[in-house]
Amino acid sequence: MQLFVGLGNPGPEYARHRHNIGFLMVDAIAAAHTFGPWKSKYKSLVAEGRLGNDKIILLKPQTYMNESGVAVSAAAQFYKVALADIIVFYDELDLIQGKVRVKIGGGAAGHNGIRSIDAHIGNEYRRVRLGIGHPGHKDLVTNHVLGNFAKADKDWLMPLLDAVTHSVAWLAEGDDARFATAIAEQLKQKD
Strands 100-104, 44-51: parallel, antiparallel or unpaired by DSSP? Answer: unpaired
Element of type H or E holding 18: none
From the candidates 17, 19, 33, 144, give the one annotated as an active-site residue: 19
Catalytic, 19? Answer yes
Helix/strand/coil (H, E, C) string of the chain? CEEEEECCCCCHHHCCEHHHHHHHHHHHHHHHCCCCCCEEECCEEEEEEEECCEEEEEEEECCCHHHHHHHHHHHHHHHCCCHHHEEEEEEECCCCCCCEEEEECCCCCCCHHHHHHHHHHCCCCEEEEEECCCCCCHHHHHHHHCCECCHHHHHHHHHHHHHHHHHHHHHHCCCHHHHHHHHHHHHHHHC
Catalytic residues: 19
